[in-house]
Amino acid sequence: MSKECVGIFKIDTPEIDTPESWWVVCEANWEDILKLMPQFLHEPYTQEKAKQAKENRDWCYLCRCFNDIWFNLPDVIEVHSLPSFYELCALCSEEWVFHS
């Protein structure tokens, strides 16, 4: 993990540079992300389909789910304190590992 300063926050951002490392971060933060789904995941995505996608290693569906959660989070500073918030952001932004 690398240390990065964001405003007044000093955070550890996960190193994601391969599909395998993306899955490691996904697995390690799955329970926290799963807790965000009922409130911030909207149709056509569902928590149940996301669980199936994880089991089937369907990164494409999960990336869409994670981006939907991120998009629907309120634009307030408090979201930065949600468990696994920065990891969720990294999983969204590092989708490129599946395209290289």
pLDDT tens-place string over residues 35-82: 999 999 999 999 999 999 999 999 999 999 999 999 999 999 999 999
* Cβ 41 vs Cβ 65: under 8 Å: yes
Percent of the chain with pLDDT over 90: 83
Give the closest residue to 7 by CA, choosing from 57, 81, 72. Answer: 81
Summary mean pLDDT of the chain:
90
Longest dimension (CA), the chain: 39
What number is the average pLDDT over the span 4-14? 56
Residue 2 has a pLDDT of 47
- DSSP annotation of 12 reads E
Query: What is the pTM (predicted TM-score) of this model?
Result: 0.85
Amino acid letter at 6?
A: V
* Cβ 41 vs Cβ 22: under 8 Å: no
Residue 11 has a pLDDT of 60
What number is the average pLDDT over the span 79-95? 95
* Cβ 49 vs Cβ 81: under 8 Å: no
Residue 58 has a pLDDT of 98
Task: Report the sign of the C-alpha dihedral through residues 45, 56, 91, 27, in that order.
Answer: positive
